[in-house]
């Protein structure tokens, strides 16, 4: 059992506050989906959890199995078993996908790494994702479509076998068939590994394949409402306007209450 705990995290970039006293706890075997309007800090959250030093942690902490990892580097967090599937994976010329995958898996497995089982699993996973086998011999994401880049991220996930998976809008750029393939592969891996999954998404369609246990609505850098899949249905029907209005009214009431006590 692994636990990722974010406690009262406030984060800025260029003196602009992106996350505001954000808190969330995720355990092994749980799938959490975070939804919300653009610009509310959803993608920032995954990057900060992974250790992107573009952001400044003003206060709060990130704990993994009770250990404070707030100041650990990206690779140190990855070694702990945390994986981020990025919204816009970069292309790297001169390093083939095959070499990259072999390097990261061998670095993780160390003396337990065996080349033939690795190649066998790589080929099988490529087939599961309906990817072209020639793609692994090209530079990392070189000439890949948006959907191919997202499949490449899931390929990395399945080979690395992380304990905590962060997926930042993994559905963007996917056609209907690719969405089904990616969603089913993530769900199969989650069931087999009992990992924790944190999904950032705008759309219900991904959640029809990756079934969340918890759904959170994020606004202004914090979670403002949580629920189960019924919350997705509510958002699909009403959008975020009613939730935003409810939060605005709540804030007004709190200010009036504070003024009354003063």
Could you tell me how far CA 192 lies from the centroid of its own chain? 18
Q: Could you tell me if 196 and 27 are in contact, meaning their C-beta atoms sit under 8 angstroms apart?
A: yes
Q: Could you tell me if 42 and 218 are in contact, meaning their C-beta atoms sit under 8 angstroms apart?
A: yes
Q: Report CA dihedral (205, 30, 105, 43) to the nearest 10 degrees.
A: 60
Q: Report CA dihedral (45, 95, 79, 119) to the nearest 10 degrees.
A: 120
Tally of structural domains, the chain: 1
- Strand-pairing partners, residue 63, are 5, 68
Phi-psi region of 102 (alpha: psi -120 to 50; beta: other; left: phi over 0): alpha
Q: pLDDT category, 143, cuts 50, 70, 90? A: confident
Taking only Cα atoms into account, the Rg of the chain, rounded to an integer number of angstroms, comes to: 20
pLDDT digits (tens, 9 = 90+) for 186-196: 999 999 999 99
Q: Is 229 exposed, middle or buried (0-12, 13-18, 19+ CB in 10 A)?
A: middle
Phi-psi region of 176 (alpha: psi -120 to 50; beta: other; left: phi over 0): alpha
- Which residue range forms the structural domain that includes residue 240? 3-261
CA atoms within 13 A on the CB side of 221: 13
Give φ, ψ of 11 to 5 degrees.
Answer: -135, 140
Q: Structure pTM?
A: 0.89
Q: Could you tell me if 164 and 26 are in contact, meaning their C-beta atoms sit under 8 angstroms apart?
A: yes
The predicted pLDDT at position 247 comes to 64
pLDDT digits (tens, 9 = 90+) for 2-53: 999 999 999 999 989 999 999 999 999 999 999 999 888 999 999 999 999 9
Q: What's the CATH code of the domain at 226? A: 3.40.50.300
pLDDT digits (tens, 9 = 90+) for 93-119: 888 999 999 999 999 999 999 999 999
pLDDT digits (tens, 9 = 90+) for 59-89: 999 999 999 999 999 999 999 999 999 888 8
């Amino acid at each position: 059992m692994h636990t990722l705990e974010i406690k009262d995290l406030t984060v800025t970039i260029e003196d602009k506050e992106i996350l505001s006293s954000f808190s969330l706890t995720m355990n092994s075997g749980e799938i959490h989906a975070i939804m919300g309007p653009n610009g509310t800090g959803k993608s920032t959250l995954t990057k900060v959890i992974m250790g992107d030093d573009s952001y400044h942690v003003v206060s709060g902490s990130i704990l993994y199995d009770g250990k404070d990892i707030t100041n650990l580097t990206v690779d140190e967090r990855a070694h702990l078993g945390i994986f981020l599937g990025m919204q816009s994976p970069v292309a790297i010329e001169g390093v083939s996908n095959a070499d990259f995958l072999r390097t990261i898996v061998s670095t993780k497995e160390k003396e337990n790494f065996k080349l033939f089982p690795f190649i066998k699993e790589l080929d099988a996973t490529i087939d599961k994702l309906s990817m072209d086998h020639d793609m692994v011999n090209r530079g990392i994401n070189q000439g890949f479509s948006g959907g191919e880049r997202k499949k490449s991220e899931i390929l990395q996930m399945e080979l690395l076998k992380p304990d905590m998976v962060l997926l930042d809008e993994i559905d963007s750029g996917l056609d209907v068939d690719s969405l089904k393939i990616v969603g089913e592969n993530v769900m199969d891996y989650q069931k087999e590994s009992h990992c924790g999954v944190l999904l950032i998404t705008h759309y219900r369609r991904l959640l029809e394949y990756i079934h969340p246990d918890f759904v959170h609505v994020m606004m202004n850098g914090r979670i403002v409402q949580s629920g189960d899949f019924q919350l997705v249905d509510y958002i699909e029907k009403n959008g975020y306007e009613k939730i935003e209005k409810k939060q605005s009214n709540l804030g007004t009431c709190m200010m009036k209450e504070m003024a009354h006590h003063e």
